[in-house]
Structure 1
Amino acid sequence: MTRYQRVVLVVAILASFISFLDGTVINVALPAITRELGGGLAGQQWVVDAYLISLTAVILLAGSLSDAFGRRRVIFWGLIGFGAASVLCAVSPTDEFLIVSRGIQGIAGALLVPSSLAIIISNFDGPKRAKAIGQWTAWTSTAFLAGPLLGGVLVDLLSWRLVFAINVIPIAVTLLMLRKIQVEPPRPVKPVIDYRGAVLGILGIGLPVFALIEQGRLGWSNPVVWGALVVGVLAFALFIVNERRVPQPMLPLSLFRVRNFWVGNVATTFVYAAISLGSFLLTLFLQQVAGYSATQAGLASLPSTIISIALSSLFGTLAGKYGSRLFMAVGPLIAAVGWVLLSQVTASADYVTQVFPGTVVFALGMTVTVAPLTAAILGAIDPERAGIASAVNNAVSRVAGLVATAAAALIVGEALTVDGFSRGVLTTAALLVVGGLVSAVGIQNARRPAPAAAAP
């Protein structure tokens, strides 16, 4: 890896880390925010959901902008927007002001994630690309560990407002490093923004996401919920029609003719639905049934994060050397075994004998899977389209997680019990098995060049 490539990788990691951190750090700050600003339970939900909805709704447009105007430019404006929104969150005088500021944060976060992966694709190739994606996966995983711990310390010792204000520090560091990255040359054809597609895409993704989130509070019979779902589905259908007809679509549908791209996204649907469902149920079970504190439930996932940090780069490197197919097929099956072990947890949920073994096996399986999965999907696409390809994969994973979480009550019942938890985690295991089988059947490894004949 050259010195320039190391700078690119660090910028990509920091840009994604900032966005991921803010999605995890907020939960521990919610009680303190409510005590100072009010808003109640509905306010707490919207402080979280405003970020999630806006990020998911805008991510396809963000990926398209990354391809059209360059990764460096989009990352720059994403960092500036995220920093400004973080300051607004930190000085929020009311709950409503904070919710709007969180929505702005989500839009800026959408600019960061696809571009951070796309800039790796643009500057690495072959086995080095897979290794770089593994390192990106490993280090961005620390956001899921650092978020709750950092947030807890800031809230307990200082103020919840610093949970947002502290973002300015890593943003400033990333902006300084971004200056060392070359500005992409102008495209030979001036990019044309598909504004109609952008609006339809935002509505087509954002409104169903809104409906999935709010149905838990309002119920499916509420006209706000089912109305948003119907309008969103219609908008998404019109979005597809529009993308088929316009000369320069925001989302080129030709991407889905690339085998590893569409198969990888189908696998992503099952794998990330499983991750979201299983993690959601485990966290609730440990607190509501087994009596763990919030801190203890958070620390229960510590081994998973450590394993990801330690091994993601290794499996990214191996996928670059041997191809992604084996890892994408075997990894979800290993992870499924972890959830089968967790299905035997009793109401006491002894950590050492019942929780720890299953979480470790699950973490190992996911670490085997994630970097090769990302490498297979993005490696199959022309680097010029890496931004939109990354955005599609991010959108698929987020929507799959939301659907799975929304369906949790149908699987476990109205109240979470030992039996309901067991059904839920076995469903998680089944989703992982399907994801592994899809990869085993559908993913194709890149052909290796034949060795050159020996010179006479």
Structure 2
Amino acid sequence: MASPSPVLGPQAPARAGWLVLLIIGAAQFMVVLDGTVVNVALPAIEKDLGFAGSDLQWVINAYVLAFGGLLLLGGRLTDVIAGRTVFLAGLVLFCLASLACGLATSPGMLLAARAVQGVGGALLSPAGLSLVTRAFTGARRDVALGVWGAIAGVAGAAGVLLGGFLTDGPGWPWIFYINLFVGTLVFPGVVLRIPRTAASGTARLDLPGATLITLALVALVLAVVRSEDDGWTAPTVLTGFFSSAVLLAGFVLLERRVHQPLVPLTVFRLRNLAIGNAVNLLLGVVMLATFFLLTLYLQQVHGDSAREAGVAYLPLAVAIMLTSAVCSQLLPRTGPRPLLIAGALLLSGSLFWFAQLEVDSSVGTYFIAPSVVWGAGMGLAAVAALSAATQDLGGEGESGLASGLVNTTLQIGGAIGLAALSTFAFDRLDDRLARHQPYPVALLDGLTFALRIAAAVALAAAALALAVTRPGTARTPVEAAAVRPGA
């Protein structure tokens, strides 16, 4: 076992710890940003590369699918190998794939590069969160997790903002080239500020389990995505759902038998971990789909340019940053439960407000104002859900599992939410077009219908959050057994 790191650990100087958070947070910002930065660039990408309209969603889904499907494997690799090594490998892979995205000359080349980006993100993101949870303890960890939670929401909004300026400026390839600048700053920072640590001598990688859960998640998301074109009862869609269920059942059976499982199923005895990840899944459903739906409204209904659409998200990003900071300060005193409930209720209310949009609505009243409420809700809920989902794990050999779980639930929720809510929106659009409604009116009807469903999902998250308990100071014997391999 390596000696305690002079930078990462309970005795780490405060300044060194925050510097590590800054370095790793920049990489996490880049990873989350790439989930939304392409939204406003899609029309330009469609025109330049010759995408069919029905295939355009794969520019987003290829990334999210690879990212979400491999996060558990990335989290476990973090525990088995070493967080620093996995982080650097993911960073290099992500940046090389970003370069390939910008240089793409065909739809196939772009989609393949986006998938590789997702693989890099699946290594980088859980390794980064693992390093953060090891770098801080006590109240400082709550503040650090507050910053980390804020990164996800701010990066989502910033992705749309930057996507608009870069698409209208130097061109859509620059939404990918910008990652190279971030990578060249982060890589030397990690090498210089985060020391090497030895890999665990006893941990083993559960490759069969990793394969089964990855295939199960991919089959599930593919089935939801295909439902947009084929319908929910089509043989291809039903086969995808059935395959996912069989693979998931096989994963559960395998994890009960192996000595060192990818995910010790007993960890779900930890109430806050289970509830926190379930709420996180619902937040993922709401977050990615909201950006997609509202961007369609701004550009295709309201008639805004890519740059104007991006600027409209600025108040939302500011609201997320401010409320995330407030949440991280309140967590040590209140625990995650009240903040999580309040955040989810604000999200639900703002989404119902968005659902009142009209073709010629005032942007200030019906977009900016609910955006601030949405940002406040997401800032509270994302940080509180992250705290609840990780507070019972984070020790030696556990931080990768905790970060893998919380990142997986968020990303898989995002993939499912984007596919499902866009399906509801476009099915409604087709129905209204069949009734000879003008396209903007028909699209608006589909978008507001999907936003109402998203509001109901956020309300369900608030109800689920009622089950979160205030964190204790020590594990019970049952909780301690829950995180031991083979328990």
- The 3-state SS of whatever aligns with 1:147 is helix
1:330 to 342, 357, 360: 342
Q: What's the counterpart of residue 408 of structure 2?
A: 395
1:256 aligned to 2:240? no
Paired with 2:416 and 2:451, the residues of 1 have a C-alpha distance of: 16
Q: Structure 1 pair 142/420, CA: closer, same or farther in 2 (3 Å)?
A: closer
> Does 1:59 pair with 2:71?
yes
Distance, in Å, in 1 between the alignment partners of 2:134 and 2:373 is 34
Does residue 437 in structure 1 map to residue 463 in structure 2? yes
Counterparts in 2 of 1:5-404, with a 5 A limit? Answer: 5-179=17-191, 180-189=193-202, 191-383=203-395, 384-404=397-417
Distance 1:419 1:258, change over 3 A: same
Which stretch has the larger CA shift, 221-230 or 177-186? 221-230
Amino acid at match of 2:469: I
| Alignment gaps of 5+ in structure 1 | 449-456
Q: Does structure 1 retain, via aligned residues, the 8 Å contact 2:289–2:418? A: yes
Give 1:50 deviation, angstroms: 1.7
The farther-off stretch of 288-297 and 163-172 is 288-297
Q: Which amino acid aligns with 1:414?
A: R
Matches of 2:188 and 2:14 in 1, distance apart? 19
For residue 305 of structure 1, report the CA deviation from its aligned partner. 0.6
TM-score, length basis structure 1? 0.89
Q: What letter matches 2:325 in structure 1?
A: S
Using the alignment, how far apart are the partners of 2:284 and 2:241 within structure 1?
22
Kindly tell me the number of residue pairs found equivalent between the two proteins.
447
> In the alignment, which residue of structure 2 is the partner of 1:454?
none
SS of 1:441's equivalent in the other structure is coil
Unaligned runs of 5+ in 2: 1-12, 430-441, 475-487
CA spacing shift, 1:386–1:91, aligned 2, 3 Å: same
Counterpart-to-counterpart distance in 1, 2:102 and 2:447:
38
Percent of residue pairs identical: 30
Matches of 2:385 and 2:275, distance apart in 1 = 10
Residues 429-438 or 164-173, more deviating: 429-438
Distance in 2 separating the partners of 1:423 and 1:101: 33
Determine if contact 1:411/1:423 at 8 Å carries over to the other structure.
yes
Higher mean displacement: 436-445 or 411-420: 411-420
CA distance in 2, matches of 1:164, 1:282: 22
Give me the whole-angstrom Cα distance separating, in 2, the residues matched to 1:394 and 1:285. 28
1:272-306 deviation line (CA, Å, top 9, x unaligned): 33334544444434444444444444433321111
User: TM-score, normalising length from structure 2?
Assistant: 0.83
User: Given the superposition, is the C-alpha separation of residues 94 and 427 from structure 1 closer, same or farther in structure 2, using an over 3 Å criterion?
Assistant: closer
* Deviation for aligned residue 1:161: 3.1
